[in-house]
Structure 1
Amino acid sequence: MTEKHRSDALVSETISRDGTVALVTGAAHGIGLEVARQLAQRGIDVLVGARDPGKAAAAVRGLDRVSALPVPLDITDQTSVDLVLRTVEETKGRLDILVNNAAAHPDHDETVTSVDLESAARVVQVDLFGTWRLTISALPLLRRAPGPRVVIVSSGAGSHSDDRYGLASAGGAYASHAIGKAAVNALTSALAAGLADTPVVVNAVCPDVTATVPGAEARGARPVEESAPGIVWAATLPDDGPRGGFFRDGKPLGW
């Protein structure tokens, strides 16, 4: 299936969210920025959050319906999170979609037996606790929305079922990233269970190996335009859509 056909197929299974507001984290570049662009194409007003608001503002310049938050977003810092959510409320008055894309960069040279545990703790602080912090802090705003959606961008590296990069297949490589994403998958399941009696729909998405740095496509990574539709799909699911799942390109991915 070509990138365009895959994107069209995913969009056809979702509903329009025209007039709603989305926040995409870690979106000053790469897949986060592309998700913001594709959500905006569907009529959604998108706010881009990043640690460097200047870079975010430069990245979204010229994109219709996409604007950068004027304050820095550090998901490991509760004060920063509170300021960002207050800014969202004051400028938009609502939040319908939260895309948790911000994450630590994986160390591809690291193994599970040679890991620097202090470095590993920093990765988990971002990937797990940062995502957890922002999500529960955003719940008061999300609960006011008629159809709130939370998407957690995860990775097949945190799955036992990914036969290329999964926990059972990678030989202990990039351990902090893999273990952190496995914890993120568990967080997704727990959040979905805890919010089962509410309209808040929570799912995790693996965008597959995506070219977020120069030269990555030459090493087999697919372009951001091909990976983003799966995240947009989860962000715009209908009310009776799946909850607590782990998906790639709109299809279930084993834990």
Structure 2
Amino acid sequence: MTKYVFVTGANKGIGYEIARQLAEKNYHVFLGARNKELGQKAVESLGLENVSLIQVDIADTESILNSVDEIGEVTDNLDLLVNNDGVVLDINILPSELRLETLFRSFEINFLGTFQMIQAFLPLVKEANGGKIVNITTDMSSQTIFDNCDLPQLNTLGYNSSKTAVNSLTLAFGKEFESDGPEIFGVTPGLISTNQNGNVPLGKTPAEGAQVIVKYAISDKSYNGKILNEGGMIPW
């Protein structure tokens, strides 16, 4: 039986690697991308028959609902929803210099977008046997880890706090799903060296980060309501 996964923000970076690794494990991957042209290039680059493009802007309710309909034309269930899409808009911007509109946009996409995706796709995930929702978060969403961090470029109030909010919604949905819902949990892949974070030193490659996420996504063990890194649960 074919297993289906929808990975948002999958035309590049860690999302692309998550899509590739799951496709190689014989999932049918719906590769989500805001930009249709870039998404199609990513699909062509992967060159795998079990990968198809879904255009979705998670900050746009209508776009999310359209993606539900499009996937619903292929399958009536979704084994995995990987909420990877997000933005980092305040690298090297001090909290005192952060513009309100930038902070708002961070929450609009990272938090409200993830919230809408969960609500919209919940019926499809519920229909799957053992369906899961995986929210991609960051080490810096943990107040404990952030307090001990000495990398100044990671003091990104907009990104970090919006991901802390994602952790909170993961816990809230996890409480709701305990009795009769699907499994939901958050995973931080660890520090990834990208141009989004100023190529932070000692970071993983996107492929290495994706391995952490895929390991939990396909695990038989339940992590409902938990926030995890490669070593297990992380502190708040």
TM-score, normalising length: structure 1: 0.84
- 1:171-227 superposed Cα distances (whole Å, 9 cap, x missing partner): 782111111111111111011011111241101011112134499668432111111
The separation in 2 between residues aligned to 1:53 and 1:179, in whole angstroms, is 29
The count of residues paired between Structure 1 and Structure 2 equals: 232
Corresponding residue number in structure 2 for 1:223: 205
The separation in 1 between residues aligned to 2:224 and 2:130, in whole angstroms, is 13
More helix by share: 2
Tell me the CA shift for residue 161 of structure 1: 2.7
Tell me the CA shift for residue 242 of structure 1: 1.7
The separation in 1 between residues aligned to 2:17 and 2:190, in whole angstroms, is 14
Percent of aligned positions that are identical:
28
Alignment partner of 1:22 is 2:5: yes
Alignment partner of 1:97 is 2:80: yes
Q: SS in structure 2 opposite 1:161?
A: helix
The separation in 2 between residues aligned to 1:102 and 1:218, in whole angstroms, is 20
Corresponding residue number in structure 2 for 1:232: 214
Q: Show structure 2 runs of 5+ residues with no match.
A: none
Q: SS in structure 2 opposite 1:92?
A: coil
The separation in 2 between residues aligned to 1:153 and 1:107, in whole angstroms, is 18
Tell me the CA shift for residue 155 of structure 1: 0.5
Corresponding residue number in structure 2 for 1:86: 69
Equivalent position to 1:158, from 116, 141, 153: 141
RMSD, matched Cα: 2.1
Contact 2:228 2:234 in 1 (8 A): yes
Equivalent position to 2:156, from 166, 171, 174: 174
- 1:105-157 superposed Cα distances (whole Å, 9 cap, x missing partner): 24222222221111101101111000000111101111111111000000011
Q: SS in structure 2 opposite 1:22?
A: strand
Tell me the CA shift for residue 64 of structure 1: 4.2
Trace 1:35-184 onto structure 2 (pairs within 5 A). Answer: 35-61=18-44, 62-69=47-54, 72-162=55-145, 166-167=146-147, 169=149, 173-184=155-166
The separation in 2 between residues aligned to 1:218 and 1:179, in whole angstroms, is 19
Contact 1:30 1:213 in 2 (8 A): no
Corresponding residue number in structure 1 for 2:228: 247
Corresponding residue number in structure 2 for 1:32: 15
Tell me the CA shift for residue 93 of structure 1: 3.3
The separation in 1 between residues aligned to 2:110 and 2:49, in whole angstroms, is 29
Q: SS in structure 2 opposite 1:108?
A: coil
Contact 1:28 1:49 in 2 (8 A): yes
Contact 2:90 2:102 in 1 (8 A): no
Tell me the CA shift for residue 230 of structure 1: 1.6
Tell me the CA shift for residue 56 of structure 1: 1.1
Q: SS in structure 2 opposite 1:243?
A: coil
The separation in 2 between residues aligned to 1:215 and 1:105, in whole angstroms, is 8
- 1:30-67 superposed Cα distances (whole Å, 9 cap, x missing partner): 00010011111111111001111221111121134222
Residue range with higher mean Cα deviation, 122-131 or 167-176: 167-176
